[in-house]
Amino acid sequence: MTEDTTTPTERDDAPASGDDVVDRILANASSRAGVSVFTPGAAQAIQTTGLGSGTYRGDDHGLGVDGDQFDRDDRQALRRVAGLSTELEDVTEVEYRQLRLENVVLIGVYSQGTLADAENSLRELSALAETAGAVVLDGLLQRRPHPDPSTYLGSGKAIELKNIVASLGADTVIADTELAPSQRRALEDVVKVKVIDRTAVILDIFSQHAKSREGKAQVELAQLEYLLPRLRGWGESMSRQAGGQVGAGNGMGSRGPGETKIELDRRRIHTRMAILRKKIKEMKPAREAKRANRNRNAVPSVAIAGYTNAGKSSLLNRLTRAGVLVENALFATLDATVRKSVTADGRPFTYADTVGFVRNLPHQLVEAFRSTLEEVAESDIIIHVVDGSHPDPEAQLATVRDVIHEVDGREIPEVVVFNKSDLVDDSRRLVLRGLVPDAIFVSARTGEGIDELLARLAEILPRPEVDLDLLVPYDRGEVVARIHDIGRVVDVEYLETGTRVLAKVYPQDAATLQEFAS
């Protein structure tokens, strides 16, 4: 078989992208009774307006706040190749091969809320699929009281979906929920292509984007927890090992029920999960040691949390020039990044960029990434970043707050920041101000609102409040250096007997310095 070397624009059946897909779906909507599709003007899950190159980067506009971003080319080169033949008649053709992406059709069932809410959820699933490395061909929404327990859509709509998949040449169907194993199998039997759910797509994205050793272990643990109840057997993979052949006359060693291949797989998965949990537990002391060092030196922590693709990493780069990878994609950064900073009056503190959240975030990921989310629970302030240009910011606020509460961060002071304010008009700002009256509008792209944010943080961060008058001998210079690190030095005077220091320190540090009180 000769490999297709034409580009997507040269093929008549090549799928369109972006708004063209939506327009084509709308054009065919009238022919599908009882099925809703995307609505024009609805929200895009990935920002596409006002970005020029489509990537939300400060250095695209001459600001240089995002650094060199060397990892981006490597990430964009990593794409899913469809399972098609790659045999070539001439080996020299290998350099002309085109990368094939999975062609997918999205499906969703909604029983509560409005059609606009369901469409926003399906558009977010479309963005997730594109981030994972797929081309979205079509999207289907159905309203019914409850998803069908057998095929999720119901027998009639499942056959209709089969015809759509066949006509479009799709090779994958993605459901906008977490399917039960029986629903997935039954739907695959009808449509005759692979069926996955929202959870599987999110896990796939996490698997592609995890960089650190701990992040990879956390993602693998979440994937195994998801896979365990969904193991399937085909043909001989269900056959028994050794036992179960008592009637076959095979003699000793063959009597008894035996063990099926799928049972062996389950046992291996349980063993691997135990190893991963042990590894993650072993990584915890190193992280706690770093956090304990910051606590011992009374360095407050500010956690940057928020919905995925809200601009958390862009904001961190704007605040600290950290050079964290910034990409217009969901879950672009997974590993926590900590950077040091100081207030205008010289008080040190740290920023911690955390993993983004999304609606219906898989429980397996919340559990697996609990160690990473500890940065939120252990912080002194949470900067809650919301995409101000998103059409449903209220849902973003609720989703992130639910996860923050789940990791015991309910009592931590919260500063709500509406990012991408350069894409928000005045009427939209009034609506957002109604959601959170004391929120701050910032733009990591232009720098708008950054000074106001820094002033708010300086106001909330704990201040050294204990006045000390210390006389430190000249041979204890390390004590003077420590006072500079943990407190605010008001005055220094050099006497014959030592260095007199007037300083303000935190209450927990005052007791350790009382021996030098003058």
Q: What is the pLDDT of residues 425-435, one digit of tens each?
A: 888 889 999 99
pLDDT band with cut points at 50, 70 and 90 for residue 391: confident
What's the pLDDT score for residue 270? Answer: 92
Residue whose C-alpha is closest to residue 315's, from 299, 297, 298, 333: 333
Helix (H) or strand (E) run with residue 181 in it? helix 181-191
What's the pLDDT score for residue 253? Answer: 55
Say how far apart CA 63 and CA 31 lie, in whole Å: 49
> Which pLDDT tens digit goes with each residue over 239-277?
555 544 545 555 555 555 556 777 888 889 999 999 999
> Which pLDDT tens digit goes with each residue over 31-81?
444 455 544 333 344 555 444 333 343 444 444 677 666 666 665 555 544
What's the pLDDT score for residue 99? Answer: 47
Half-sphere exposure of 515 (CA within 13 A, CB side): 4
What's the pLDDT score for residue 255? Answer: 55
* Contact of 107 with 153, CB cutoff 8 Å: yes
Give the range with max mean pLDDT: 188-202, 327-341, 344-358.
188-202
**pLDDT above 60 for 366:** yes
**pLDDT above 50 for 83:** no
> Which pLDDT tens digit goes with each residue over 214-236?
878 888 888 898 888 888 765 55
Say how far apart CA 224 and CA 201 lie, in whole Å: 14
Say how far apart CA 405 and CA 357 lie, in whole Å: 13
pLDDT band with cut points at 50, 70 and 90 for residue 6: very low
What's the pLDDT score for residue 84? Answer: 44
**DSSP per-residue string spanning 398-429:** HHHHHHHHHTT-TTS-EEEEEE-GGG--HHHH
Q: Which of 112-121, 293-302, 342-351 has the least mean pLDDT?
A: 293-302
pLDDT band with cut points at 50, 70 and 90 for residue 110: confident
Say how far apart CA 307 and CA 237 lie, in whole Å: 42
Task: Calculate the CA dihedral of residues 227, 230, 233, 234 and round it to 10 degrees.
Answer: -100
Phi, psi of 357 (to 5 degrees): -115, 165
Q: Would you state the structure tokens that stand for residue 270, as one six-digit string? A: 């349980």
**pLDDT above 70 for 293:** no
**pLDDT above 90 for 441:** yes
DSSP code, position 148: B
